């Protein structure tokens, strides 16, 4: 055994002992140094120099960088398999179609969907939410009905509902928030909401400004309980009959053994008293495990580009029971079934929601990004991000003149820290960070109502991901001190 082999064996032996000690102590651990090095090597964009400094990328809430495997998958499709899907019998078309539909199944598995048919591809979270607003919710609203949002929403989960309310005469209302945690106040929600008028709750899973995680399961449970109570109160006999009919139908389907999970789900008729729960998961899916069935949500939307995938690809999960009553919002291309001279009809979901040529290569690369992410243990990833966030928060607290903008008892941050430097406009500070090779975000972060709630016009936001390191956080804190001193005294210019 040569000296290099001996050294590697010693290193592996030490790592094994360390791992066994950690397991014995039953303490959750983040990535080891060698694991983090391997992760970082997978992202080519991280290894560049910006303004004569090595890049520190703390803008992951805006978009994440892409691993080489995702880039390669995108290139491979265009080099070898490029064809339009569903429309050709030639080999390339079949290969492209198979890969696209396999990507749909990969997404379904990733978020715990009952069936791949509950997954439709869009251009991003914004497109998904607009589709649900126009196709699912708006047709069911009348004047006086209510749509609930929160003050923390990204504009993409607010403006579509403002427009729906304007067109239908419905009222947009805001869920009560606990000022100590930033979460929806469930007690006030139950006591202050007119559930007879409330038809939909549109809410983000994790705030893109504060990192606050909303109690989605509790909100969904409450919404469904209200719907069930309203149905029993309004039509007890019809409700019982519907239950018997559904039971008989399911029994028949099971006995004949000729129905798929999707068909069974579609057979479950939506409750006319439903309070729909629609979730913006754009900021959640790269930071915590999501199971849409366990959450009980009616719809869940996210983008690929915040999940290590390309831009231009989004996901709209919609429970199968809502498929028939949800209208397409774009028309033409592959979504049609039969086109007459004056009328047309459409395919079943998800294809009826995917007009024209979809983002084929992007969907396939999204599946690759999901495969990349799911190779890691969620607990390890979350502990890593939590440790970095704690280091960042505590470091900022030690710098005079830094104002953290988070609720005082916030429990989870999911890598997001928003703050301001006294006397320094966020855009000026962000320019200073850029001169230090540090990419962060400054502005209102597409959340102007939240800025008013926080009584600020803009903030600085540092957002972390699985490839960030303790050394980067330390350098960031040193640069923050230098930037503060420069703008305060003009003596210690960054760099």
**Which positions are catalytic?**
446
User: Which residue do the tokens 């400004």 mark?
Assistant: 209
Q: Are strands 119-122 and 314-318 parallel, antiparallel or unpaired?
A: antiparallel
Instruction: State the CB neighbour count (10 A cutoff) for residue 356.
Output: 10
Sequence-separated (6 or more) residues with CB below 8 Å from residue 41: none
Encoding tokens for residue 371? Answer: 């495969």
**Rounded Cα–Cα distance for residues 382 and 49 (Å):** 28
Pair 279, 203: CB distance under 8 Å: yes
The distance from CA 159 to its chain's CA centroid, rounded to whole angstroms, is 18
Whether the CA torsion 308, 309, 312, 317 is positive or negative: it is negative
The packing angle between helices 470-489 and 378-397, to 10°, is 20
Dihedral pair phi/psi, residue 167, rounded to 5°: -75, -30
Smallest CA-to-CA distance from 177 within 145, 210, 199, 144 is with 210
**Rounded Cα–Cα distance for residues 62 and 388 (Å):** 18
Pair 138, 167: CB distance under 8 Å: yes
Pair 334, 355: CB distance under 8 Å: yes
Smallest CA-to-CA distance from 132 within 402, 381, 327, 310 is with 327
**Rounded Cα–Cα distance for residues 268 and 120 (Å):** 20
Pair 276, 137: CB distance under 8 Å: yes
Q: Is 370 helix (H, G, I), strand (E, B) or coil?
A: helix
Smallest CA-to-CA distance from 318 within 108, 170, 100 is with 108
Smallest CA-to-CA distance from 309 within 108, 128, 74 is with 74
Cis peptide before 2 (omega within 30 of 0): no
The distance from CA 232 to its chain's CA centroid, rounded to whole angstroms, is 35
**Rounded Cα–Cα distance for residues 482 and 491 (Å):** 9
DSSP codes, 388-426: HHHHHHHHHHTSTTEEE-S-TT----TTEEEEEETTB-H
The distance from CA 221 to its chain's CA centroid, rounded to whole angstroms, is 20
Encoding tokens for residue 167? Answer: 């067109």
């Amino acid at each position: 055994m040569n000296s290099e082999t001996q050294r590697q064996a010693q290193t592996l032996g030490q790592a094994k002992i360390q791992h066994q000690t950690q397991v014995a102590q039953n303490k959750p651990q983040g990535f080891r140094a060698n694991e983090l090095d391997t992760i970082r090597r997978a992202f080519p964009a991280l290894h560049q120099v910006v303004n004569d400094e090595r890049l520190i990328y703390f803008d992951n809430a805006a978009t994440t960088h892409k691993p080489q495997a995702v880039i390669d998958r995108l290139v491979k499709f265009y080099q070898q398999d490029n064809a339009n899907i569903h429309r050709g019998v030639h080999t390339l078309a079949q290969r492209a179609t198979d890969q696209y539909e396999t990507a749909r199944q990969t997404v379904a598995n990733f978020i715990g969907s009952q069936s791949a048919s509950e997954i439709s591809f869009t251009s991003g979270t914004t497109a998904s939410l607009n589709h649900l607003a126009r196709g699912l919710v708006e047709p069911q609203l009348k004047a006086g009905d209510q749509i609930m949002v929160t003050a923390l929403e990204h504009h993409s989960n607010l403006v579509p509902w403002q427009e729906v309310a304007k067109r239908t005469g419905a009222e947009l209302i805001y869920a009560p928030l606990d000022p100590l945690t930033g979460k929806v106040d469930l007690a006030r929600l139950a006591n202050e909401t007119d559930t007879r008028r409330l038809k939909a709750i549109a809410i983000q899973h994790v705030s893109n400004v504060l990192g606050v995680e909303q109690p989605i399961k509790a909100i969904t449970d409450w919404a469904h309980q209200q719907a069930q109570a309203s149905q029993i109160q309004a039509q007890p006999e019809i409700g019982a009959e519907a239950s018997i009919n559904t039971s008989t139908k399911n029994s028949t389907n099971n006995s004949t053994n000729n129905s798929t999970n999707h068909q069974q789900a579609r057979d479950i008729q939506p409750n006319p008293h439903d309070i729909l729960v629609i979730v913006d998961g754009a900021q959640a899916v790269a930071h915590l495990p999501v199971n849409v069935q366990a959450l009980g949500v009616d719809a869940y939307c996210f983008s690929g580009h915040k999940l290590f995938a390309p831009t231009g690809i989004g996901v709209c999960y919609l429970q199968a029971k809502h498929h028939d009553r949800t209208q397409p919002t774009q028309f033409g291309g592959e979504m049609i079934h039969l086109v007459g001279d004056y009328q047309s009809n459409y395919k079943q979901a998800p294809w009826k929601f995917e007009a024209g040529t979809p983002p084929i290569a992007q969907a396939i690369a999204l599946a690759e990004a999901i495969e990349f992410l799911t190779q890691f243990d969620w607990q390890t990833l979350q502990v890593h991000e939590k440790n970095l966030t704690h280091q960042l928060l505590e470091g900022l607290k030690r710098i005079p003149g830094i104002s953290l903008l988070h609720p005082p008892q916030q429990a989870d941050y999911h890598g997001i820290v928003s703050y301001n430097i006294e006397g320094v406009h966020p855009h000026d500070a962000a320019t200073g960070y850029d001169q230090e090779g540090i990419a962060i975000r400054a502005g209102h972060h597409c959340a102007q109502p939240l800025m008013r709630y926080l009584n600020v016009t803009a903030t600085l936001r540092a957002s972390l991901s699985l490839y960030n390191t303790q050394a980067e956080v330390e350098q960031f804190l040193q640069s923050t001190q230098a930037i503060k001193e420069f703008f305060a005294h003009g003596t210690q210019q960054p760099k």
